[in-house]
Amino acid sequence: MDTLFAPWRMAYIEYAKVGKEQGCFICNATKSDNLEENLVLYKGKHVIILMNKFPYNTGHLLIAPNRHVADFAQLSDEELLALSKALVQSIEVIKRAFSPDGFNIGVNLGRVAGAGLESHLHIHVVPRWNGDTNFMPVIADTKVIPEALKDTYRKLIKHVEIFKTFETMH
């Protein structure tokens, strides 16, 4: 039998047990000054961009309004515009850092739709590469993330200068 060590999974398992007691991880990241610990790439007036701590793929980002809202209908025009600009620029940052072949972009509204955090709206940006789906997910129901989160953070943070202007652009 082959053994695949994925020590980061224990953090996910433990978070699933106590995560709700710790509050909203997006709100916590928005309030924190420790950007790297929270994997925050950008914090602006209306939005936050952070890496997913339990990614589907290397470079998986989350874009969320700073306000704790669950649905697009609760957002102001400024927040909607900021989310849209953050999405466009997040794609550009990932392209610069990793040169993916494509992207999956999505929003899960409600638990039945797959939302792990249904009370704080967030957009998933998942880079994809030709050949990134191999036998592991198909045969072993296991996804292998080939890079440590901190290494991915360091690659992405080099390119975030693009975020410094987008909320002031009109």
Question: Which residue numbers are catalytic?
Answer: 122
DSSP label at 20? Answer: G
Among 26, 31, 60, residue whose Cα is nearest residue 129? 60
Amino acid (1-letter code) at residue 56: Y
Q: Which residues pair with 135 in a beta bridge?
A: none
Cβ neighbours around 158 below 10 Å, total: 11
Q: For the chain, give the number of residues.
A: 170
Cβ neighbours around 89 below 10 Å, total: 21
Counts for the chain of helices (H) and strands (E), in that order: 6, 5
- Beta strand spans in 5-160 (E): 40-43, 47-51, 61-65, 102-106, 123-128
Distance CA 62, CA 26 (A): 9
Distance CA 133, CA 53 (A): 20
